[in-house]
RNA sequence: GCCAACAUAGCUCAGCUGGUAGAGCAACGCUUUCGUAAAGCGUGGGUCAUCGGUUCAAAUCCGAUUGUUGGCUCCA
């Protein structure tokens, strides 16, 4: 695979970094140093714990090496010669393994610059002097070969560009990104908090954030009503039996909160001296009959013998729900359905809990409790393609309304080698074909990714890039042929015989938490009026007009607008500045002139001073902007041409 | 969970090699009544994340714990 010139430059930087590393730390054992989308890194095994001071030293040494103007020389060798070179340089710990990765018959090459020589397919720039704009950024831990069972190495991250200007621009961009980080803005704009005592990864939505979430939920609910969905509500916990049937427990045990038993049962077990291990075993156990059913259905031993217990050993318990689907399935199954009723579309903003690893938690985007804008559709096989398409168009509507156009669509297919995926392969093929077709009619480029499917069926994910370039999976649509079988769902067809429905799981936002996190960064806190926690700030020039301002505030509130009045005795400039910092979309300046004419002087955060209009005209204008969920329009309206008739 | 760094007022941060805390902004009060991004003066506010150790003395040194950040692993 040919490298781009930029990759070549960055890859060369990796080698120069390694050269510098060995000069300063001769005992360093090198692993691998590739270019990345944003720079390069090198993984190194080193007794010495690298510090930021070391980064500066390494960078200075790299500059020296660049100035030494060493040529990059390619050398092709036999496998035996390669082993000799690696051994002679004392780099056998990782490099011999890397050498073994090169398939037999492929060329083996080394690249040399100065005293340094590395096993490498290339390619490189010609001279180290070409490296003019690079910077080491951070040190991180990284497992050898990305496997947590292996030793953790020290990874040095850096970036490089063709010119110093581009490097500076990139570093500025990183700074800018920090300014719109949802964790910073969440604090500044008082949108949400996380409290140690409540727990890591558990979001407390403060009043301002709650307004945004409520508006988004209202928006979604309106769209769902248009599309024939029914709203339901279900509790936050469910019995283990439910998740044993669905297959969620205990296969995903490591990412679930621990199951808990009923208080009476716990007390009884405690008096019997039951150990925790025993309690767990009895909670996770299943009956022989149930195991046989599941194993037969799956066509393999899904339930291992150790989990099968006698009836008197089985202990029923509860768990925090990791998904809403089993609850919705039970609502569907609570009454008989005719084919005429289908599709049944059940929607809920359902809160679920997952035990994410502590190191994975991140602001609102990776949390332990979150609310999905979830829905489950139950339909006939003939309806699948159309319903999937309906779900996709809903996601697209949502993203378009919010001006989120930088996303990609990922069709997650099963990996034939993995036992994670259950169900009939023929049904999988049909479902995968339906997803592919639906994705292709969406008019958005999409990629197919084997192994990314849910265990019960293929899925279509919407992946959005945040400002730091990280990708977040938001909306998702998943086709499921498995759970209807597990829960023995049926509907009566036109032939008066029972048929198996197909389920579709979908969530246009994914989760309210993650979506809001990404949305905060998307708007950099400058929310459109319909989402802004505070839509209008009234700013009286002096307290002489405070009575008019108070009356106006009451009027705006009565009209359902979110307004506040700045009663500080600051000068106008300070009040304007405060409103700007609070990112309020509209500031109304109220002075003597306005009070006398029952008007307002409008200042838009997006467009600046917009002049004076009557209070009534402004209320009507803002209400229309909110009702249409308009995005902020940065452009000033074009002034009417002189002499042109007023429109 | 793993590697590393960090944790001082509501926020952003200062506090050198140990001698029991400071600024700006915010809040509150007074003065000012002002036309599109910062008026002036004053007041209150901190068990220096928590617990333990070293020391005559700890925000400062050491250890543990909790949390945060950057990565890694993971993400039904």
- End of a domain among A288, A320, A352? A320
A405 CA, B47 C1': Å apart: 51
Q: Are residues A308 and A335 in the same domain?
A: no
Q: What pLDDT shows up at residue A644?
A: 43
Residue A623 maps to a domain: yes
**Which residue's CA lies closest to nucleotide B69 at its C1' atom?**
A362
Distance between alpha carbon A588 and the CA centroid of its chain, in Å? 37
A10-24, A355-369, A406-420, A542-556: least confidently modelled range? A406-420
Give the domain CATH number at A346: 3.30.930.10
- End of a domain among A140, A172, A204? A172
Number of domains in chain A: 4
Tokens standing for A165?
Answer: 């200007």
- Check whether A639 has a pLDDT greater than 60: no
Q: Are residues A60 and A120 in the same domain?
A: yes
Whole-angstrom CA distances from A462 to A309, A456, A533 are 42, 19, 27
Strand B interface, A 230-249, C-beta < 7 A: 248
Give the integer Cα–Cα distance in Å for A625 and A632: 9
When pLDDT is cut at 50, 70 and 90, the band that residue A643 belongs to is very low
pLDDT digits (tens, 9 = 90+) for A282-291: 998 889 988 8
Beta strand A344-353 pairing with A369-379: antiparallel
Whole-angstrom CA distances from A294 to A246, A371, A422, A476 are 10, 30, 11, 27
Q: Which nucleotide is nearest to A199 (CA to C1')?
A: B67
DSSP A46: -
* Helix, strand, coil % in chain A, rounded to nearest 5: 40, 25, 35
- Check whether A645 has a pLDDT greater than 70: no
Q: What pLDDT shows up at residue A370?
A: 96
Residue A60 maps to a domain: yes
pLDDT digits (tens, 9 = 90+) for A25-69: 999 999 999 999 899 999 999 988 888 888 988 999 999 999 999
pLDDT digits (tens, 9 = 90+) for A153-192: 999 999 999 999 999 999 888 888 888 999 999 999 999 9
Whether the beta carbon of A141 falls within 7 A of nucleic chain B: the reply is yes
Residue A587 maps to a domain: yes
Residue A191 maps to a domain: no
Residue A195 maps to a domain: no
Q: Are residues A9 and A98 in the same domain?
A: yes
pLDDT digits (tens, 9 = 90+) for A125-150: 999 999 999 999 999 999 999 998 99
Give the domain CATH number at A617: 3.40.50.800
Instruction: Write the DSSP string, A339-405.
Output: GGGPSEEEEEEEEEE----GGG-BTTTB-SEEEEEEEEEEE-GGGHHHHHHHHHHHHHHHHHHTT--
Residues of A designated as active site: 325, 354, 372, 374, 376, 459, 505
- Nucleotides on chain B that have an atom closer than 7 A to a protein CB are 1-5, 11-12, 26-27, 30-39, 66-76
pLDDT digits (tens, 9 = 90+) for A336-360: 999 999 999 999 999 999 999 999 9
Strand B interface, A 143-162, C-beta < 7 A: 143, 146-148, 152, 154-155, 157
Q: Are residues A17 and A126 in the same domain?
A: yes
Q: Are residues A395 and A432 in the same domain?
A: yes
If one compares A301 and A625, the residue with the highest pLDDT of the two is A625
Strand B interface, A 528-547, C-beta < 7 A: 541-544
- Contact between residue A17 and residue A44 where contact means Cβ atoms under 8 Å apart: no
Q: Are residues A123 and A52 in the same domain?
A: yes
3-state secondary structure of A331: helix
Whether the beta carbon of A138 falls within 7 A of nucleic chain B: the reply is yes
If one compares A303 and A157, the residue with the highest pLDDT of the two is A157
Give the integer Cα–Cα distance in Å for A67 and A128: 7
pLDDT digits (tens, 9 = 90+) for A395-412: 999 999 999 888 889 999
A569 CA, B9 C1': Å apart: 25
Q: Which nucleotide is nearest to A575 (CA to C1')?
A: B37
- Contact between residue A43 and residue A154 where contact means Cβ atoms under 8 Å apart: yes
Percentage of chain A beyond pLDDT 70 is: 96
Whether the beta carbon of A183 falls within 7 A of nucleic chain B: the reply is yes
- End of a domain among A123, A148, A172? A172
Residue A574 maps to a domain: yes
Q: Are residues A464 and A447 in the same domain?
A: yes
Percentage of chain A beyond pLDDT 90 is: 73
Q: Are residues A474 and A610 in the same domain?
A: no
Residue A208 maps to a domain: no
Whether the beta carbon of A15 falls within 7 A of nucleic chain B: the reply is no
Residue A429 maps to a domain: yes
For residue A94, count other CB atoms closer than 10 A to its CB. 21
Q: Are residues A23 and A51 in the same domain?
A: yes
Q: Are residues A316 and A330 in the same domain?
A: no
Global ipTM: 0.94
Q: Are residues A441 and A503 in the same domain?
A: yes
Q: What pLDDT shows up at residue A561?
A: 98
Whether the beta carbon of A258 falls within 7 A of nucleic chain B: the reply is no
Mean pLDDT of chain A, nearest integer: 91
Tokens standing for A210?
Answer: 């709650």
Cis omega before residue A640 (within 30°)? no
Give the domain CATH number at A125: 3.30.980.10
Q: Are residues A316 and A368 in the same domain?
A: no
Read off φ and ψ for residue A391, nearest 5 degrees.
Answer: -65, -45
- What's the domain range around A574? 536-627
Q: What pLDDT shows up at residue A636?
A: 64
A593 CA, B40 C1': Å apart: 28
């Amino acid at each position: 695979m040919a490298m781009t010139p930029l990759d070549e430059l960055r890859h060369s930087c990796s080698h120069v970094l390694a050269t510098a590393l060995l000069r300063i730390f001769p005992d360093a054992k090198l692993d691998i140093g590739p270019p990345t989308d944003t720079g390069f890194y090198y993984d190194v095994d080193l007794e010495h714990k690298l510090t930021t001071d070391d980064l500066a030293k390494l960078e200075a040494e790299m500059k020296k090496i660049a100035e030494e103007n060493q040529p990059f020389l390619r050398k092709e060798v036999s496998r035996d010669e390669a082993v000799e070179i690696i051994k002679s340089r004392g780099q056998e710990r990782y490099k011999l393994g890397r050498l073994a990765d090169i398939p037999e018959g492929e060329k083996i090459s080394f690249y040399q610059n100065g005293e340094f020589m590395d096993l490498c397919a290339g390619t490189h720039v010609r001279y180290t002097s070409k490296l003019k704009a690079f910077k080491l950024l951070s040190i991180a831990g990284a497992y050898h070969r990305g496997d947590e069972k292996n030793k953790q190495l020290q990874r040095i991250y850096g970036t490089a560009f063709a010119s110093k200007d581009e490097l500076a621009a990139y570093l500025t961009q990183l700074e800018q990104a920090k300014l719109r980080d949802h964790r910073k803005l969440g604090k500044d704009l008082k949108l949400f908090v996380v409290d140690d005592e409540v727990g890591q990864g558990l979001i407390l939505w403060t009043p301002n954030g709650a307004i945004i979430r409520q508006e988004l939920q209202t928006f979604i609910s309106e769209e769902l009503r248009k599309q024939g969905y029914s709203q339901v509500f279900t509790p936050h916990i469910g019995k283990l039996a439910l998740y044993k049937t669905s297959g969620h427990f205990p296969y995903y045990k490591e990412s679930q909160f621990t199951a808990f038993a009923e208080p009476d049962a716990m007390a009884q077990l405690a008096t019997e001296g039951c150990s925790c291990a025993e309690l767990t075993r009895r909670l996770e156990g299943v009956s022989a009959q149930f195991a046989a059913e599941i194993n037969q259905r799956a066509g393999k031993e899904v339930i291992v013998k150790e989990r099968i217990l006698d009836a008197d050993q089985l202990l029923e318990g509860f768990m925090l729900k990791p998904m809403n689907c089993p609850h919705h399935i039970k609502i569907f199954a609570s009454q008989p359905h005719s084919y005429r009723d289908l599709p049944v579309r059940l929607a809920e903003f359902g809160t679920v809990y997952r035990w994410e690893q502590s190191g994975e938690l991140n602001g609102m985007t990776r949390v332990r409790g979150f609310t999905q804008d979830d829905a489950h559709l139950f339909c006939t096989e003939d309806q699948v393609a159309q319903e999937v398409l309906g779900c996709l168009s809903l996601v697209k509507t949502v993203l378009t309304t919010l001006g989120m156009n930088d996303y990609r669509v990922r069709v997650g297919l099963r990996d034939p080698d993995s036992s994670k995926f259950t169900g009939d392969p023929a049904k999988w093929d049909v479902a995968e074909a339906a997803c592919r077709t639906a994705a292709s009619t969406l008019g958005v480029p999409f990629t197919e990714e084997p192994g990314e499917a849910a265990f019960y069926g293929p899925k279509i994910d919407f992946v959005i890039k945040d400002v730091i370039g990280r990708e977040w999976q938001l909306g998702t649509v998943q086709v499921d042929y498995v759970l209807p079988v597990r829960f023995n769902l049926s509907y009566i067809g036109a032939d008066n015989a029972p048929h198996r429905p197909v389920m579709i799981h979908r969530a246009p936002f994914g989760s309210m938490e993650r979506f809001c996190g990404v949305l905060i960064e998307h708007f950099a806190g400058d929310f459109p009026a319909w989402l802004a926690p505070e839509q209008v700030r009234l700013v009286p020039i002096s307290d002489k007009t405070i009575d008019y301002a108070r009356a106006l505030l009451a009027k705006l509130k009565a009209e359902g607008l979110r307004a506040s009045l700045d009663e500080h005795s600051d000068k106008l400039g300070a009040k304007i500045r405060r409103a700007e910092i609070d990112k309020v979309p509209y500031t109304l300046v109220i002075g003597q002139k306005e009070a006398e004419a029952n008007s307002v002087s409008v200042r838009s955060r997006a467009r600046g001073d917009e002049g004076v209009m009557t209070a009534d005209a402004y209320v009507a204008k803002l209400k229309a902007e909110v009702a249409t969920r308009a995005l902020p329009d940065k452009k000033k309206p074009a002034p009417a041409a002189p002499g042109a008739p007023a429109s």
